[in-house]
Chains A and B, each alone.
Chain A
Amino acid sequence: MTAAGTEAAVLAGPADGATPRPQVRLRLPPPAQLGLVPFGAYVVLFLVVPTVLAVATGFFDKAGRFTLDNVSALSDPVVVTTFWNSTWLSLLTAAVGALAGALVCYALLGVPAHHPTRSVIDALAGVLAQFGGVMLAFVFIAAMGRYSLLNVWLSGAGINIYAASNWLYELPGLIPPYIYFQIPLMVITFGPALDSLKPQWAEANLTLGGTRWTFWTRIGLPVLAPSFAASFLLLFANSFSAYATAAALASQGSQIVPLQVRAALTSETVLGRENLAGALALGMIAVMALVMTGYALIQRRAERWRR
């Protein structure tokens, strides 16, 4: 591969094309590095610049002067509360999603890789985890809302789940749909880790007089623990950055950080500050960077058992 790569590079001659050798030049394309330019420019323009802009705008006021005023808003009690809401919502739904998702992965152990059950579960998990968004909000309004069959039945039994408040459209209402997309994400991310469990380990466990219980407590769970922790962090990041489901459910109010970004983007001033969206984006990026770095570090540790 490397040798072939070098040969290809040699075939192409001097990549910078500095010395023109007529016969060779005719057969050669322009310098290969040029081929990297379109994609590079695209990524810079639509990924790097927006990210830098999003974070940097928090440091400037409307007139373009440098200010720490917006960033200091991150310590405003209102902002602190929304960050706390986002954090506990993400922790809770990631924990429930990780446990339930891991159980599904366990149940799938021994189902052959190309079995139709796996294909169906993988596809379903992919849709619900990654492409649900607004649609999941509608599903939960139809399935649990005031006019849902569930509520009709419960009311018939004398139970009114909406007696205290219309909680489905408030912060607690985000918990069911968030768990609903966390479980499938866990199945997608944690599933491959279970494939690293080797039948030989079970045999070794058996020869040494171990039981199913000792296999899991002494071998299975310790080997899987790093992957589980990494997946948990990914789930946390996932619900921390989720916007669409919350935006469709909670059409008013800014209970979590992404919704507060919406408020800051759509109305001119929130908390009497301009460019608060930038400061909130900075806060979100900081949390995401922390979580994703942890994810990468633990994932590297987890790779040890895979090969």
Chain B
Amino acid sequence: MRRASFHPHPVTRGVIGVLVGSFVLLPLLATLEFTLRDGDAHSLVHWAAIFDPAKAATYKPIWVGLSNSLVLMLVTIAVVLLLLAPTMILVNLRFPRLRRSMEFVALLPISIPAIVLVVGLTPIYLVIGRTLGTGAWTLAFAYGITVLPFAYRSIQAAIDAVNLATLAEAARSLGASWPTVVWRVLAPNLRGGLLAASLIAVAVVLGEYTIASLLNRQNLQTALVLVNKQDAYVSVIFSLLALLFCFLLLLIIGRTGNLGAARGKDR
């Protein structure tokens, strides 16, 4: 009891919770109210309009943007799982001395604003446009960089939680080839971290605007800004849905992480 004497008084906790909580939640609720307007009354008319054929032409950019963003998510996840994760495994197993450098590189994008990166990406994407085409999926290469710090932290936490070298040696001494070791022994042991990294990639790609808009590619966010000029309601509705979706993703990451931690305690 005494031990916890620096914990806040329940009343203090309540006051802070109500004050900051209302600053965070009231704008979201006011936004929800905005989407429910129907003249002076409230109804689901603007939500129903999403599938109204009469408005299909206006809303088309959103569906195009959304499908582009879905493709971008898949390619970005591929970059994380097929490029970043194997490299991290390799560094941790065979080049432990490079771990610090790897961390430095992976966290570097935090210090480089996306708007600065775009200035340098413009000439690179001119070349990419000529060789790989101007498809939206090519943005995934840039997104792989913006996801890097988040993905690195998730995967490294998973690597730190298991003894990679022992697992690899055990499998090797039983005659497994290196691809088998990585695919059937290491990856399953790291799946928590790999899942978290993939879900964060989804959240980052879903909310990305800076790079897409300045490189003239269409994704969900650029579409929302475009459509917002003709119909504010639909872009606000999609914003709320995307925020809710990201919230659920992060909740899943947090809860599965906790489950993993709890399981580790039992052992």
Chain A interface (Cβ < 8 Å from any Cβ of B) = 1-2, 4-5, 7-9, 11-12, 29, 32, 35-36, 38-39, 42-43, 45-47, 49-55, 57, 100, 103-104, 106-107, 109-110, 113-114, 119-120, 122-124, 126-128, 130-135, 138-144, 147-150, 180, 183-184, 197, 199, 201-203, 205-206, 212, 215-216, 220, 237, 240-241, 243-244, 247-248, 258, 261-262, 265-266, 277-278, 281, 284-285, 288-289, 292
Contact = CB atoms under 8 A, between A and B. Distances in A.
7 contacts: A11-B172, A107-B8, A109-B7, A128-B243, A212-B5, A265-B122, A288-B113
A45 B31 CA distance: 41
B131 interface: no
Nearest to B110: A292
Given A127-B243, A183-B24, A265-B122, 8 more contacts: A114-B261, A114-B262, A119-B258, A138-B235, A180-B24, A202-B4, A212-B6, A261-B119
Main SS of chain B's interface residues?
Answer: helix
Given A1-B165, A122-B254, A142-B236, A36 B93 contact: no
A17 B192 CA distance: 35
B250 interface: yes
Interface in B71-99: 79, 83-84, 86-87, 90-91, 93-96, 98
B134 interface: no
A36 to B, nearest CB: 6
A106 B221 CA distance: 35
Main SS of chain A's interface residues?
Answer: helix
Contacts of A184: 24
Contact of B6 (A54, A109, A142, A277): A109
Contacts of A124: 24, 247
A1 B86 CA distance: 19
Interface of B: 2-8, 12-13, 16-17, 20, 23-24, 26-28, 30-31, 33-35, 79, 83-84, 86-87, 90-91, 93-96, 98, 105, 108-124, 141-142, 144-145, 148, 150, 163, 165-166, 168-169, 172, 178, 203-204, 206-210, 213-214, 221, 224-225, 228, 232, 235-236, 239-240, 242-243, 246-248, 250-251, 253-255, 258, 261-262
A110 B169 contact: no
Contacts of B124: 45-46, 49-50, 53
Contacts of B163: 1, 4
A130 B163 CA distance: 31
B6 A220 contact: yes
A184 B28 CA distance: 15
Residue from B8, B28, B115 having most chain A Cβ neighbours under 10 A: B115
A277 B119 contact: yes
A126 B240 CA distance: 15
**Interchain residue pairs A-B with the least CB separation, the first 8:** A50-B120, A241-B113, A110-B7, A54-B120, A131-B207, A53-B120, A4-B165, A135-B239
Nearest to B83: A39
A144 B27 contact: yes
B236 A261 contact: no
B8 A46 contact: no
Given A8-B169, A248-B225, A258-B115, A119 B251 contact: yes
A131 B239 contact: no
A107 B84 contact: no
B120 A106 contact: no
B28 A202 contact: no
A63 B122 CA distance: 17
A241 to B, nearest CB: 3
A51 B20 contact: no
Contacts of B95: 32, 36
Contact of B114 (A32, A42, A243): A243
Nearest to A128: B24
